A and B are shown apart, each in its own frame.
Chain A
Amino acid sequence: DIQMTQSPSSLSASVGDRVTITCRASQSISRYLNWYQQKPGKAPTLLIYAASNLQSGVPSRFSGSGSGTDFALTISSLQSEDFATYYCQQSYSSPLAFGGGTKVGIK
């Protein structure tokens, strides 16, 4: 089974900061890597699919990169509505798996 490891598990940042979250797969998943945002009490929403494709309606300050085993989600200029928990997820093979999550909090 493929394991997904995210880092950091939490971070504190200020509005306007550039934030990068990384995700590592235990084996190559090509570009089958998706990123989700989740706010408390809400369902997750898809931000990035296939490693670097922006989901429709998602602001362009979000971007994704990587392939193989190492991936990153970058928020170029953090906005107040971006304080949330972010998850990576591999869709390369079953069992599908999420990373442990990264909580982005206010500094």
Chain B
Amino acid sequence: EVQLVESGGGLEKPGGSLRLSCLVSGFTFSHAWMSWVRQAPGKGLEWVGRIRSKGDGGSTDYAAPVRGRITISRDDSKNTLFLELDYLKIEDTAVYYCATAGPHCGGDCGRWGYWGLGSLVTVSS
């Protein structure tokens, strides 16, 4: 059974930093492209960024609202995806989901059939 489990959320202060983790089980994590998606309270879904598998170069893409403040990384030996977000703003308050198409996604790694339950991050003074 595929499982994605986020952790690391909580209350953070404006200007601070957050680090989220996503532990993946049930498939070969190293082959998967991984994304982070967030959802502010009562709002829609917003893609935050992604990291390719190392076999596909391991590079990252980030959304404009977080570019320059975000780092997505992975530890394939621990089946874990990370998100670091610095210089936090009130508007970064959201549930953060990790999501993936799974391994061997072929020509479309941006269709996410697997999601975590989400981790709530609240940015408030």
Consensus secondary structure, chain B interface: loop
Total A residues in contact with B, Cβ cutoff 8 Å: 25
B108 and A50 contact, CB distance less than 8 A? yes
B111 and A87 contact, CB distance less than 8 A? no
Q: How far is the CB of B118 from chain A (nearest CB, A)?
A: 6
A32 and B108 contact, CB distance less than 8 A? yes
B47 and A98 contact, CB distance less than 8 A? yes
Number of A-B residue pairs with CB-CB distance less than 8 Å in the complex they form: 61
A91 and B111 contact, CB distance less than 8 A? yes
**Bound CA–CA A36/B35 (angstroms):** 15
Determine the chain A residues whose CB is within 8 A of the CB of B110 once the complex forms: 32, 34, 89-92, 96
Q: Is A1 an interface residue (CB 8 A)?
A: yes
Q: Is A95 an interface residue (CB 8 A)?
A: yes
**Bound CA–CA A44/B39 (angstroms):** 11
**Bound CA–CA A55/B97 (angstroms):** 20
**Bound CA–CA A100/B40 (angstroms):** 13
B61 and A43 contact, CB distance less than 8 A? no
B47 and A43 contact, CB distance less than 8 A? no
Q: Is A38 an interface residue (CB 8 A)?
A: yes
**Bound CA–CA A10/B47 (angstroms):** 22
A-B contact pairs, 6 of them (CB 8 A): A36-B112, A87-B45, A89-B111, A91-B110, A97-B47, A98-B46
Interface residues in chain B, defined as those with a beta carbon under 8 Å from any beta carbon in chain A: 35, 37, 44-47, 50, 61-64, 97, 108-113, 115-118
